[in-house]
A and B are shown apart, each in its own frame.
Chain A
Amino acid sequence: MIQVSELHFSTEDGVKVLEDIHLRVEQGELMMILGPAASGKSLLLGLLGAQITPQRGQILVHGRNVGRLGPDKMLSLRRRIGVVPQGFMPLPRTVRDNVLFKLRALGNYVEQAEEKVLFALETTGLIRQQGSDARELSSIDRVRLGISLAICNDPLLLLIDEPFEGLSEDEKAEVARLLCRMNTGHLSILVATRGPVPPGLEMSRRVRLVDGMVKGA
């Protein structure tokens, strides 16, 4: 479960980017964060993913206060959060080696890592392209690869930033179906997008961010 309360964030110049954010995401929930460009969606995901230290307010991720974690605990929390950044660019390797690199870097043995690679690629439907050069993948397959990387180490929370950008309507619907398929167990999924919400995700909970403030949940 994720709980955000009284979260504020300002730039070095004093410009308020996030203001008094209150949010609660249950375990296994799929939530859409909607909002125009520069409304603070990516920053909010960065804060939830323990990539950015909060300035004011509280973020609890599975009971751990992100703002008060020591460096080691912060790193171990990051390992349990899968993040697909906006405009994700894969490494210049094969699809399989992209995922394998991350798993090996996280300390998995070869056999264990290869098992996890196959599971992640099967889940996202990329298993047939595992030998392909990741830089030559289509836009939707890049999104799939980003998600494979994010879920390969069995995360508790999945944060995806603008996964529908540059996709056709059919591809958006396909990504939406993939997200719904993954949203069956304990995994909480937060998707930030400018909208509109693609078909298949209409039933998911939505939060609208406007000028750094939550306007409707």
Chain B
Amino acid sequence: MNTQLFLFRELLGAIRTRSALFFVLSGMLLFLFLTCVASFFMIAPSLENTSTDGQPIEELRVFLSPRLSSSTIDQWFLDWRERDDVAGIRFQFAQEYDKTDSGGVFIVSPADPALASELASEFRSIDGVTEVVEIPREPIIEASSISLVIRIVLLVILVLAIAASLFCFRRGYRELLRGFSGEVRMLRLSGISERMLGALIVALGGLLGLLVGLFLLAALFLFHQIALFNTAAFSQFGGLTSGIRVLSVGMATLVLGVVLGALAGLLGASLLHGREFDALP
């Protein structure tokens, strides 16, 4: 076993009840923080925003009777194209929409979406037109359409959780190093570098962050499995049904957990500058 591993094992062995409690608490707060981060990516777009009700009409599909002659269709095409209330027109075969259908379809883009319904009514009244379908514009779905209130609440929890977690980390390190101060003094006296001492503390933080990240990854996977069988119960967290999203968010939070744990370790390593750790009295 090399020196670093030996010292790391000794450092872990110096964890006592009080320091363990602070580390568990800081781990739980870090878990809360990472859960909030993951939630941002798991919340599904709300159903109200995906509804097309009230959306302006983007195009009209005018289905033509198969009995119409090609010259009539040509004439209509030319006439309609010249209308002021038509911005564009193109012809398609009805089979493109329904294989059992026959005849043609004019795809008409209204010049003014507000007047599209009137245009549709006019087309419906023409003999030879079998059906007119009004196609509304697709709603623009934001990447995360959760409400502002939820966002603010999540952000507040994020900030509070990470601040409280760092505070608990520091208290945990203080307790731990208080019980390890004799060893630190002896190590310094024996010629062990400050870099190695600091690295041990940072590694402990990184390990805690890794454990929390792994725990969250496991929790995400569990919820992913549940969400697959019970979609309705997780309708607000639609992202949980996507395996790729769960895996990528889980891995990202795992890395974030390790980084934050290591940063907390740096905070703990700063405690080594205290006088109680000086090699000589």
Enumerate chain A interface residues (CB-CB to B < 8 A). Answer: 42, 46, 51-52, 71-72, 75-79, 83, 85-87, 89-92, 101-102, 104-107, 149, 153
Q: List 6 A-B contacts (CB under 8 A).
A: A42-B281, A89-B182, A92-B182, A105-B186, A149-B186, A153-B190
Selected interface stretch from B2-10, B23-31, B96-104: B2-10
| Chain B residues whose C-beta falls within 8 Å of the C-beta of A101 in the assembled complex | 10, 183, 186
Q: Is the interface of B mostly helix, strand, loop or mixed?
A: helix
| CB-based contact A51/B190 at 8 Å | no
Contact with A along B181-193 (1 / 0, CB 8 A): 0110011111111
Known: A89-B182, A92-B182. A105 touches B280 (CB 8 A): no
Once the chains bind, are A105 and B7 in contact (CB under 8 Å)? Answer: yes
Contact, CB under 8 Å: A105 / B182: no
Please state if B280 and A42 are interface contacts (CB–CB under 8 Å).
yes
Residues of A close to B3: CB separation below 8 A: 104-107
B188 — which chain A residues lie within 8 A by C-beta? Answer: 51
Known: A102-B186, A106-B190. A87 touches B6 (CB 8 A): no
In the complex, A104→B13 CA distance in Å? 15
Residues of B within 8 A of A92 (CB): 182
- Contact flag A86-B7 (CB < 8 Å), given A75-B193, A92-B182: no
B190 touches A105 (CB 8 A): yes
Taking a contact as CB atoms under 8 Å apart, the answer to whether B189 and A85 are in contact is yes
CB distance from B141 to the nearest CB of A (A): 57
For chain B residues 141-192, which have a beta carbon within 8 Å of chain A? 182-183, 186-192
A76–B191 Cα gap in the complex (Å)? 7
Partner of A87 from B186, B189, B192, B281 at Cβ < 8 Å: B281
Sort chain B's interface into a size bin: 10 to 19
Q: B191 touches which one: A42, A46, A78, A149 (CB < 8 A)?
A: A78
Which residues does B use to contact A, with CB under 8 Å?
2-3, 6-7, 10, 182-183, 186-193, 279-281
Chain A residues whose C-beta falls within 8 Å of the C-beta of B280 in the assembled complex: 42, 46, 51-52, 83, 85
User: Which residues from B are CB-within-8-Å of A79?
Assistant: 190-191
B193–A91 CB distance below 8 A: no
State in angstroms the CA–CA spacing of A92 and B179 once bound together. 10
- A residues less than 8 Å from B193 (CB atoms): 71-72, 75
Closest chain B residue to A91 by CB distance? B182
Q: B187's closest neighbor in chain A, by CB?
A: A105
A78 to chain B, nearest CB (A): 3
- B280 shortest CB reach to chain A, Å: 5
> How near does chain B come to A185, taking the closest CB pair, in angstroms?
21
B49 to chain A, nearest CB (A): 60
A90: nearest chain-B partner, CB-CB: B182
Other-chain residue from B10, B182, B191 in contact with A75 (beta carbon distance below 8 A): B191
* Given known contacts A104-B6, A107-B3, A83 and B189 CB-to-CB distance under 8 angstroms: yes
Q: Which residues of B contact A104 (CB under 8 A)?
A: 3, 6
Complex alpha-carbon distance, A98 and B52, angstroms:
76
Cβ A85 vs Cβ B6 within 8 A: no
Complex Cα distance, B190 from A78, in Å, reads 6
How near does chain A come to B8, taking the closest CB pair, in angstroms? Answer: 11
Q: From A89, which residue of chain B is reached at the shortest CB distance?
A: B182
CB distance from B192 to the nearest CB of A (A): 6
Please, how many angstroms separate the alpha-carbon atoms of A134 and B189 in the complex? Answer: 18
